[in-house]
Amino acid sequence: MSDDATLIAAAQAGATDAFGLLVRGHQQALRLFLRRLCGNHAEADDLAQEAFVFAWEKIGRCDPARPFRPWLFGIAWRKYRENRRGWRRLLTRQGRAIAAQPQSETPDPGLAVDLAAAAATLPPEQRAAVLLCLGLDFSHGEAALALALPLGTVKSHVARGRRQLAAFLGETP
């Protein structure tokens, strides 16, 4: 039984300290994923908090025999999508058109900034798959579980995303 499985079982029995250890073990990677997905640190941190609160409330649904990481990142992905839908509804109610993502007028020479800009051009599901698999070393199977997508779709998203990132950066894939 993995360390996460032991902690999940203890958290399901009501041990808040066990859940705290799960949070500490996964919060950095989750926040990094959400920050890259959102492009906004404050929004990403809020979504990470929401994901952990939801995970604690629903810890009984988590199967200790299955990996915790895809389950948690799946919650975060759904929170991100819910947040996006809510924002669009708000803009619609206010009668404003949804504007395209703002583009930087002066490109930053740093590679990290270039990668962030390149990732921002990818559609959300493709960006999420790329960030999980290439940025956070998720297996394609783990990413498929987290994103609730078929394995083949995740593989396609990663392959296409990799090609698009390379083209954006002027590299050959």
Range of the domain at 92: 1-99
Average the pLDDT over 158-162 and give the result.
Answer: 90
Look up the CATH number of the domain holding residue 66.
Answer: 1.10.1740.10
Pair (161, 145) in one structural domain: yes
Q: 10 Å Cβ neighbour count for 163?
A: 13
Q: 169 and 114 in contact (C-beta within 8 Å)?
A: yes
Pair (90, 32) in one structural domain: yes
Pair (5, 74) in one structural domain: yes
pLDDT interval class at 173 (50, 70, 90): low
pLDDT digits (tens, 9 = 90+) for 29-55: 999 999 999 888 999 999 999 999 999
Q: 95 and 126 in contact (C-beta within 8 Å)?
A: no
Average pLDDT over the chain, rounded to whole? Answer: 83
Q: How far apart are CA 13 and CA 129, in angstroms?
A: 33
Pair (133, 168) in one structural domain: yes
Q: How far apart are CA 114 and CA 110, in angstroms?
A: 6
Tokens of 123: 């559609």
In this predicted structure, which of 16-30, 88-102, 119-133 has the lowest mean pLDDT?
88-102
Look up the CATH number of the domain holding residue 139.
Answer: 1.10.10.10
pLDDT digits (tens, 9 = 90+) for 48-107: 999 999 999 999 999 999 999 999 999 999 999 888 775 545 444 444 333 344 444 444
Please identify which residue in the block is written with the tokens 């669009």. 88
- pLDDT at 84 (0 to 100): 78
Pair (155, 113) in one structural domain: yes
Q: How far apart are CA 130 and CA 155, in angstroms?
A: 9
User: Could you give the number of structural domains in the chain?
Assistant: 2
- pLDDT at 171 (0 to 100): 67
Q: How far apart are CA 137 and CA 53, in angstroms?
A: 24
Please identify which residue in the block is written with the tokens 């002027």. 170
In this predicted structure, which of 57-66, 105-114, 128-137 has the lowest mean pLDDT?
105-114
pLDDT interval class at 131 (50, 70, 90): confident
Pair (111, 95) in one structural domain: no
